[in-house]
Amino acid sequence: MAELRQNLATREWVIIARERARRPNAYVESSDRLRTHERAEHDPTCPFCPGNEELDLERAREPAGPDWQTRIVRNKYPALAEQGLLTRSFNGVERSITGVGYHEVLVEHPFHNTTLALMTDEEIRAVLLMYLRRGKEIAADPRVEQIVFFKNHGERAGASLLHTHSQVIGLPIVPGNIRHRIEEARRFFDDTGQCVFCTMLADELRRRERLVAVNEHFAAFVLYASSSPFHIWILPRQHHASFLHVAEAEVMHLAPLLRDVLFRLYAHLNDPDFNLLIRSTPTKEPENGYFHWYIAIVPRLSRSAGFELGSGVWINPTLPEECAAFLRGDISATE
Amino acid sequence: MAELRQNLATREWVIIARERARRPNAYVESSDRLRTHERAEHDPTCPFCPGNEELDLERAREPAGPDWQTRIVRNKYPALAEQGLLTRSFNGVERSITGVGYHEVLVEHPFHNTTLALMTDEEIRAVLLMYLRRGKEIAADPRVEQIVFFKNHGERAGASLLHTHSQVIGLPIVPGNIRHRIEEARRFFDDTGQCVFCTMLADELRRRERLVAVNEHFAAFVLYASSSPFHIWILPRQHHASFLHVAEAEVMHLAPLLRDVLFRLYAHLNDPDFNLLIRSTPTKEPENGYFHWYIAIVPRLSRSAGFELGSGVWINPTLPEECAAFLRGDISATE
C-alpha cells in the first residue's frame, strides 16, 4: 500500500506510491543523450565561452580578465531591474511593487563541456565563493529582502543555455514560500527548543539509510518525504540560518561534498537534468536558532500535473531509501 | 519595468516581466499539432472508448450501460488504496499515514475526439453532475479529509491518455497548500468581515479588463497576479465554501460558462495543454463565510525552473490584461 509521508520542517505531505513502484534504475537517462563531458570544450556561438565576452558586452556585470575562472553577467532578459525606485501601490485589492532588484548569471567555468559534477574541488570553491561575495553585495542594497540562488541544469530543468552557470535573484519581497517555512520552523522551536533541521539531520546521521554523503561539516541525504525521486537536501552540520553567514573555511568543506553528490547523480543517472537551489533566511533577518540554510537538489525525472497544482501534494513512485542506496552504489544499475 | 503583483487571497507574489514581453499571440500552438477534434471518433486501443470497457474490467468502478455518457473507473495505478485501515505513525521525526483513499478517473464522453471545450452544455452538465455525485459519495467516507478534482489535458499537462477525462483523489489529510489558503482567507475575513474571493470578484466585475466570460451565476477572469499566461479563475458569484454544496440548478449555469472559457482557449490558442482543478474546503469543515470554492485553469505554456522551486514566485512574461483581451477577441491573433 502507498504511504503518505510528511516533511517535519515544511509540513508538506507526499504520497510514496509503491503500487506504481519504479526502481531507481528506471530513471537512468538514455545513452543516446549527449552528456556534458561529451560536448566540445569551446563553442564559438556561446556567450559564456571565453573570447565571446564581447558578444554581449552590455551584459557584463564586471570586467573579466583574460584568464577568468568565474564571472558574473546580468541576465539578458532580467526579471527585475537594478535601477529604479521601489514604490508600492495598493488600491484595496491589487497590491504591487515596482520590479526592482537583481537578476544575474554566475558563469561557473570557462569550459563549455563541464559542470559542477565534473569540476575540481578548487573550481567548485571558486563558484561558492562567488555566490557568497555577490550575495553579500546584493544583500547590502536596502531594497532587497530575499536572495535566491539557483541552478537549472538541462532543458527540462528550464536552462536555455548549456554552458555551466547559476543564477541569483535579489527580490524586493519575502516570498510566501519562505515565510511559511520560517513560521513552521519557529513553531517547532517554540515547542521543542530545537531547530527542526538540526533534528532531521541528527536523525538522518543516526539512521544512515537515506544518507548519500557526509563529511565533518556537511551531510547530504535523500528526503524522507521526497516530492520526487532523488530529491536531496544538503545541510551544514553547524547551525546557521543564513547562507551568507557561512565562513569561507566552511565553504572549503562544502565543495568536495557537493561535487560528490552531483557526481553520483551524473554517473548513476547519466547526467540528468536537475534544479539546485539554496534556501536561506531573508536578508534583513538576524541569525536565529530556528531556521537553517540548506541546498535542495531536485532532478527533473517526473512531471507535475493537476493534482500537484491543486493540492501541493506530490506523488513519488520510488522509495527514498532505495534512491539513496542506488546513489551510494549499494544497488547496482542492472539489479 | 517589471512589476511584482500579489494575489490578495493567497498572498503569493508573481513577477510580471514586461522586459521579456511576449504578446498573447506568441502562445498560439503550431498548426502542425493534431488537435482534439481532428482525431478519430473511436480508438480501438483506448481503454476509455466504448466497446473497450472489457479491456480493463477490474478497473470499472460501476457497471456502465451500453449507452453510457459518462463513467467512473478506478485509476489503473492508484496513488491511494480504497481498502485498508487508516493508521498513523510518528517517531518524533518521521510522520506517516497509510495511503488509503480514492483515486478515480471520470471518463467524460464516449467519443475519443472531443473535450469539454467542444461538448454541448448538456454533456458538460452530465460531467459536472458526475463530479458532484461521486464527490459526495467519497466525502461520506470518514477516512477522507480532502477531495481534489483535477483534469490534465495534453501531454505537457501530465495526461497519459488522450481520451477526455478528469480525475478525483480523496486524501486522508488536508494538504498544507489548502490550509494556507484557508488561513489567509480567515485572516482577511477577521480584518474586513468580507470573503476575500467575493472582494476580488466584485472588483473584477467592476473593472472588466480581465474578465473573460460572465453570466448570472459565474464569472471567469484572468488573475491580476497570474503565475503564468492565461491563468484563469472561475468563481461562483454566490458565496459557498465547498463545491460539494453547489445546487444542481447552479451547475446548469456553470456548464455554458465553462464551455465558453475552454472554447476560447481552444480556438484562440489552438488546443493548448492545460490543467484544471477545483479548490474547495476540506470535506469535514462546515460552510463558512471566508472561503470560496473556485475552478483554476492553468494552460501549460511556460515551464517552472529553479527560481520558482526556490521562491514559489513565478515569472510571467505576459500582461494578464492582454491575455484577457486576447481571449475576448479584442486583440486579434495577427496583431
- Chain segment B272-323, per-residue pLDDT in tens: 999 999 999 999 998 999 999 999 999 998 878 889 988 999 999 999 999 9
Q: Which residues is B278 bridged to in the sheet?
A: B149, B295
Tell me if B93 and A10 make a contact (CB, 8 A cut-off): no
Residue range A32-45: mean pLDDT, rounded: 94
Tell me if A298 and B309 make a contact (CB, 8 A cut-off): yes
Q: Nearest chain A residue to B1 by CA: give it.
A: A99
Residue range B253-265: mean pLDDT, rounded: 98
In chain B, the domains with their CATH numbers are: 40-328 (3.30.428.10)
Residue range A259-268: mean pLDDT, rounded: 98
B1: confidence class by pLDDT, cuts 50, 70, 90: confident
- Judged by CB atoms within 8 Å, which residues 302-331 of A form the interface with B? 303-307, 309-313, 315
- Select from B171, B187, B202 the least CA-distant residue to B280: B171
Tell me if A11 and B97 make a contact (CB, 8 A cut-off): no
Check if the beta carbon of residue B144 is closer than 8 Å to that of residue B282.
no
Give the separation between CA B229 and CA B24, rounded to whole angstroms: 8
The complex's ipTM? 0.93
Residue B19 has pLDDT above 80, yes or no: no
Query: For chain A, what's the residue count?
Result: 335
Question: pLDDT tens digits, residue range A92-135?
Answer: 999 999 999 999 999 999 999 999 999 999 999 999 999 999 99
Indicate the pairing of strand A294-299 with strand A274-279: antiparallel
- Judged by CB atoms within 8 Å, which residues 150-179 of A form the interface with B? 150-152, 157-159, 167, 169, 171-173, 175-178
Residue range A273-288: mean pLDDT, rounded: 96
**Catalytic hit among B165, B231, B253, B268:** B165
Residue range B232-243: mean pLDDT, rounded: 97
- pLDDT given for residue B40 in this prediction: 96
Q: In the annotation, is A165 catalytic? A: yes
Share of chain B above pLDDT 90, in %: 83
Interface test with B, best of A94, A102, A184, A201 (most B CBs within 10 A): A94
Residue A334 has pLDDT above 80, yes or no: no
B241: confidence class by pLDDT, cuts 50, 70, 90: very high
Supply A127's cell numbers: 563558484
- Smallest Cα distance from A275 to chain B, Å: 5
- Across the interface, of B152, B172, B277, the residue whose CB is closest to A4 is B172
Tell me if B175 and A305 make a contact (CB, 8 A cut-off): no
- Across the interface, of B19, B95, B149, the residue whose CB is closest to A78 is B19
Cα-based torsion angle of the residue sequence B177, B183, B187, B190 in order, rounded to the nearest 10 degrees: 140
B248-269 helix and B121-139 helix, angle to the nearest 10 degrees: 120
- Across the interface, of A20, A180, A199, the residue whose CB is closest to B77 is A20
- Judged by CB atoms within 8 Å, which residues 71-100 of A form the interface with B? 77-81, 84, 92-100
Supply B157's cell numbers: 499537462
Chain A residues touching B175 at Cβ < 8 A: 12-13, 311-313
B30: confidence class by pLDDT, cuts 50, 70, 90: confident
Give the separation between CA A167 and CA A160, rounded to whole angstroms: 12
A248-269 helix and A121-139 helix, angle to the nearest 10 degrees: 120
Number of Cβ within 10 Å of residue A271's Cβ equals 20
- Judged by CB atoms within 8 Å, which residues 274-293 of A form the interface with B? 275-279
- pLDDT given for residue B31 in this prediction: 84
Tell me if B306 and A17 make a contact (CB, 8 A cut-off): no
Tell me if B148 and A96 make a contact (CB, 8 A cut-off): no
Chain B residues touching A22 at Cβ < 8 A: none
- pLDDT given for residue B198 in this prediction: 98
- pLDDT given for residue A58 in this prediction: 65
Query: For chain B, what's the residue count?
Result: 335
Tell me if A277 and B94 make a contact (CB, 8 A cut-off): no
Question: pLDDT tens digits, residue range B37-69?
Answer: 999 999 999 999 999 887 766 677 777 788 899
Q: Which residues is B220 bridged to in the sheet?
A: B213, B234
Give the separation between CA A335 and CA B17, rounded to whole angstroms: 48
What is the biggest distance separating any 2 CA atoms in chain A, rounded to whole angstroms? Answer: 61
Share of chain A above pLDDT 90, in %: 83
Q: Which stretch of DSSP H or E encloses residue B274?
A: strand B274-279
- The number of C-alpha atoms within 13 Å of A219 and in the hemisphere containing its C-beta is 22
Q: Nearest chain B residue to A78 by CA: give it.
A: B19
Give the separation between CA A95 and CA A87, rounded to whole angstroms: 11
- Across the interface, of B93, B97, B157, the residue whose CB is closest to A4 is B97
Dihedral sign from CA coordinates of B303, B308, B312, B314: negative
Looking at per-residue pLDDT, the higher value among A56 and B251 belongs to B251
Give the separation between CA B146 and CA B64, rounded to whole angstroms: 27
Check if the beta carbon of residue A91 is closer than 8 Å to that of residue A147.
no
Give the separation between CA A262 and CA A256, rounded to whole angstroms: 10
- pLDDT given for residue A146 in this prediction: 98
Tell me if B173 and A13 make a contact (CB, 8 A cut-off): yes
List Cα–Cα distances, A287 to A196, A281, B62, in angstroms. Answer: 15, 8, 58
Strand order in the sheet with B314-316: A88-90, A95-98, B3-6, B13-16, B314-316
- Judged by CB atoms within 8 Å, which residues 201-260 of B form the interface with A? 203, 224
Give the three-state DSSP class for A290.
Answer: coil
Tell me if A98 and B1 make a contact (CB, 8 A cut-off): yes
Tell me if B95 and A307 make a contact (CB, 8 A cut-off): no
Residue B210 has pLDDT above 90, yes or no: yes
User: pTM for this structure?
Assistant: 0.94
- pLDDT given for residue A19 in this prediction: 66
- pLDDT given for residue A57 in this prediction: 62
Number of Cβ within 10 Å of residue B252's Cβ equals 15
Give the separation between CA B281 and CA B240, rounded to whole angstroms: 10
